[in-house]
Amino acid sequence: MKPITAIMISMLAGVATFAFEGPGRQAHAAAFQVPTGPNWRQDMLAHDPGETGIDHRVLMITSHLDLTSAQATKVRAILDREHDRIEAALLTAPPSLSRDQFVAERNEVRLATRKEIDALLTPEQHELAEEFRPASQPTPN
């Protein structure tokens, strides 16, 4: 399992859980935690679900936001790029990259991904996305 996919599955599982609680509820899913300890980087790589996790995220986003097939295809490409960027950060960054530095970089990648996906959404879909976004996550500008 690849780490980025594990992250995405965790996030989407949280969103799905809150979606089934009923409309009008604010989602407060806990963010995936980057492992701690000296081998955090290897642990993330070892637990990355890869394509399966991306497929799951696309399915969840498509289901919750009622994406068209064209939108879903574009979201898939965006999530693939996100996965590749985060995986590259884990694999190619110097050994001196700290866990906190990685988390900051990953958060920047996620924000860029969210902006790209938001740009694809209709106003109605954007409103739905906001309902499922945890309050701790700012809306991209």
Distances (CA, A) of 66 to 41, 62, 86, 136, 139: 35, 5, 27, 24, 20
Residue 55 lies in a domain: yes
pTM over 0.75: no
CB 72 within 8 A of CB 58: yes
Q: What is the pLDDT of residues 86-119, one digit of tens each?
A: 999 888 888 888 999 999 999 999 999 999 999 9
Residue 72 lies in a domain: yes
Residue 139 lies in a domain: no
Residue 137 lies in a domain: no
Q: What is the pLDDT of residues 47-85, one digit of tens each?
A: 888 888 899 999 999 999 999 999 999 999 999 999 999
Residue 54 lies in a domain: yes
Q: What is the pLDDT of residues 120-141, one digit of tens each?
A: 999 999 999 988 876 655 555 4
Residue 138 lies in a domain: no
Distances (CA, A) of 1 to 45, 49, 73: 7, 3, 22
Residue 141 lies in a domain: no
Residue 57 lies in a domain: yes
Q: How many domains does the chain have?
A: 1
Of the candidates 3, 21, 25, which has an alpha carbon nearest to the alpha carbon of residue 133?
25
Q: Which residues form the domain of 33?
A: 3-132
